[in-house]
């Protein structure tokens, strides 16, 4: 993998994953729904996708 695209993809994916996990944690801590009209499944899906994006970003950065 070329270094510049790997760094860009790693930063974007890592930032998105971290932001999604922080957003989910803040919403759950305040007792608010994660999505409009969503139930507990939306919180679980949000955590799974946030962790997957964060791990993908870390993987991209380790491929340098």
Supply the pLDDT for residue 1: 61
CA distance 20 to 38: 16
Residue with tokens 């999505």: 35
pLDDT tens digits, one per residue of 11-62: 999 999 999 999 999 999 999 999 998 888 999 999 999 999 999 999 999 9
End-to-end CA distance of the chain: 7
CA distance 42 to 58: 24
pTM for the structure as a whole: 0.89
User: What ranges do the domains of the chain cover?
Assistant: 3-62
Supply the pLDDT for residue 57: 97
DSSP state of 8: H
**Burial degree of 13 (CB within 10 A; 0-12, 13-18, 19+):** buried
């Amino acid at each position: 993998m070329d270094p510049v695209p790997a760094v860009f993809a790693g930063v974007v994916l890592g930032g998105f994953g971290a932001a999604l996990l922080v957003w989910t944690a803040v919403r759950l801590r305040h007792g608010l729904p994660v999505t409009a009209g969503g139930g507990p499944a939306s919180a679980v899906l949000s955590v799974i996708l946030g962790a997957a994006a964060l791990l993908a970003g870390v993987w991209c950065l380790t491929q340098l």
